[in-house]
Amino acid sequence: MPANRANRPRGGVRPGSCTRGLLRSAFPWLAVCVLGIGSLACGEGAPPLVDCLPKRGLSPDCRFQAPEDLAVVGRWLVVSQMPTSKAPGSLVAFHPETRRIRPLYPARAAALATLPDASRPEDAGPVVRDDTADGGCAAGVPPPVSDFAPHGIDVLLTRLLVVNHGRREAIEEFEISAEGGVPVLTWKSCTPLPSDASANDVVALSDGGFAATKMVERPQWLGIAKLLLGLNTGALLRYSPSTRSWETVPNSEGKAPNGVEVEADGTFFIAEWTARRIVRIEPDGSDKQTIDLDFSPDNLAWSSRGQLLVAGQRLSVLDVARCSAIEQGTCALPSVVVSIDPSMMTVFPLVEDDPATAVGAASIAVELGGDLWIGAFSGDRLVKRAGAR
């Protein structure tokens, strides 16, 4: 089932508590909980949103687990569900018209509430040796389901790319096919990230390679320290299939690079989360332009009209740690969705849920069937906004 990527413009301008489970999550800076900030970072914040009722024209579907990123595949949404202290992460497909949810990886799960049990041999998945330097990538070992930690995702034609923070920090590649009109995933390969990089999002490139945002450095204490000090923490990395190597896109260093998108001509758009801005940059690092926002931008996606959809939150770094402690409902962080004209770099408001009433901690907005679908890095819901303009 090929993904519809016609929306990409052509040319021109394109979980848990403060414990080990929290440290396994896809947001590495959540480790502030163990860096002496403890009580401040993980204290009580605003009460979570626990009802699942339509408000402000926003209609939630509360059957998900931290649906941090979304990708459109035909009439389906592929949902990247981050891990929590109670369950590993997973990929599922959601059909908005029928509200059907189908597990994709791991495929054995019969429903969202019945993720594979790693204690059972039939569900344990492949074992990755701890002394394998690349986490099993060279050996062709799929990610173990018991430690699967998906984050950003991207689809191009039949390719699904996933940032994985499980036992290996890598870009996993799946092939998308269909059985009776329903998406099916087949794992193909993985590419380890550089040893000093903790990635956030990924975007497929036309040459068969991909680019990923290095949000913070590893070891985590160094990346977190730079984050809290307001310094540059990462950059955009590009992987070449011909050289099988990573390189840093020149002039792409920034403060917590988060979402990334690309135009058909190779122009990149990067969301700098703590800098509250969108960066437009050519593949060689030239012609760097920025546009400031009044919120922290997370993931990016293209609309059917070639506009850049930007979802994000109004929050502090410490709010992320508070959100990780939510066990029911969703985190009550104000959420924002805007569209940006990529040629003029002008901003148009779409969704303003501030104070939070229905969304909470929005991290992605995509268009499907003329509507907006909004995911979040914490909590239990996808949210529909009727109409994409």
3-state secondary structure at position 29: helix
Distance CA 78, CA 174 (A): 12
- Output the pLDDT for position 122: 42
- Output the pLDDT for position 219: 83
- Output the pLDDT for position 133: 67
Low-confidence ranges of the chain (pLDDT < 50): 2-4, 6, 10-43, 110-131
Catalogue the E-assigned strands of 180-288: 182-192, 197-204, 210-217, 235-240, 245-248, 257-262, 268-272, 277-281
φ, ψ at 322 (rounded to 5°): -65, -40
364: tokens are: 């992605």
- Output the pLDDT for position 35: 36
User: Domains in the chain, please, with CATH?
Assistant: 20-39+64-108+141-385 (2.120.10.30)
Distance CA 169, CA 370 (A): 35
Distance CA 168, CA 224 (A): 20
Which residues touch 221 (CB under 8 Å, ≥6 apart)? 31, 35
Residue carrying structure tokens 């998108």: 261
Phi and psi based region of residue 369 (left: phi greater than 0; alpha: psi -120 to 50; beta: remaining): left
User: What does the DSSP 8-state code read for residue 111?
Assistant: S
- Output the pLDDT for position 356: 93
- The whole-angstrom distance between residue 330's C-alpha and the CA centroid of its chain comes to 17
- Output the pLDDT for position 31: 40
Is the whole model's pTM more than 0.85, yes or no? yes
- Output the pLDDT for position 119: 40
